[in-house]
Amino acid sequence: MTSTASGAQINFQDGGAYDAAMGVWSRLAGERFLQWMAPAPGLRWLDIGCGSGAFTELLMQTAHPATLHGVDPSEPQLAFARKRPALAGCDLRVGDAMQLPFADACFDAAVMALVLFFVPEPARGLAEMRRVVRPGGVVSAYLWDFSTGGFPFEPIQAEQRAMGMTPRLPPSVQVAGMAAFRAQFEAAGLAGIETTTLHVARSFADFDSFWAITTGMMQDSLTQMGPDRTASLRAAVQRRLQPDSNGQITYNAHANAIRAVVPG
């Protein structure tokens, strides 16, 4: 997925780099999300903004859907997703969240996993989710809570802000806070809205591993910073993330989750 915010482009074209940096986080949050959702087997699912397929694969393995479709604007991301053995029978296609290539009421459930804040017009994205899900079906989503430091890259972004820099953010980051997130679902006319917060933690073998993996998606922005500022940023982040007795780096992230029903 590619989006633009404050003149800075966030580019998720490289499925491999995304999967290493964010795919693990996505699966961690996705596991908590599906535990909370506890979906019935045999449903017709749509994963909007499926990207590299990290959550889509988890959905296939956990929810046991009758059918599973995924859409994403990035063909390179989809090409990576199609290589996942668990997704061999899935329909993964290029598509726009604000103009889904599906008929009305053709799914039992639709989900946006860490996606809605990348949709330029979130209200249109939710309207499309509602359109393609049958009455009584479920519309759901979860988002890293940027408003309270829940994003997995927060250790880096906090130090960027301290250096007077503006971190790259999703174009619709304002919807990530729980109140704003819920308001979007209410405005979409969805019923039976429920919410929760998903807490996850990830460990890295050492700081070098953390830095290499996490900045794999940030090489263009680090290049623009130059070697001296990049070195200063790295040192500041290393001071922030203290290792445990085994040298491991572990820290937490959290996401807001919502589910609702399409009224009949």
Averaged pLDDT, 30-38: 97
- CA separation for the pair 137, 201 (Å, rounded): 31
Which amino acid belongs to residue 67?
T
* Cα 163 → chain centroid: 26
User: Using 50, 70 and 90 to split pLDDT, how confident is the model at 223?
Assistant: confident
* Residues contacting residue 184 through CB under 8 Å, at least 6 positions apart: 116, 122, 123, 126, 175
175-215 confidence digits (pLDDT tens)? 999 999 999 999 999 999 999 999 999 999 999 999 999 98
CB 80 within 8 A of CB 134: no
The answer on pLDDT for 13 being more than 70 is: no
* Residues contacting residue 16 through CB under 8 Å, at least 6 positions apart: 52, 80
Q: Which pair of tokens denotes residue 214?
A: 């996490």
CB 120 within 8 A of CB 10: no
148-169 confidence digits (pLDDT tens)? 999 999 999 999 999 999 998 9
Write down all domains in the chain, each with its CATH number in brackets: 11-204+253-261 (3.40.50.150)
More confident residue, 166 or 136: 136
The answer on pLDDT for 11 being more than 70 is: no
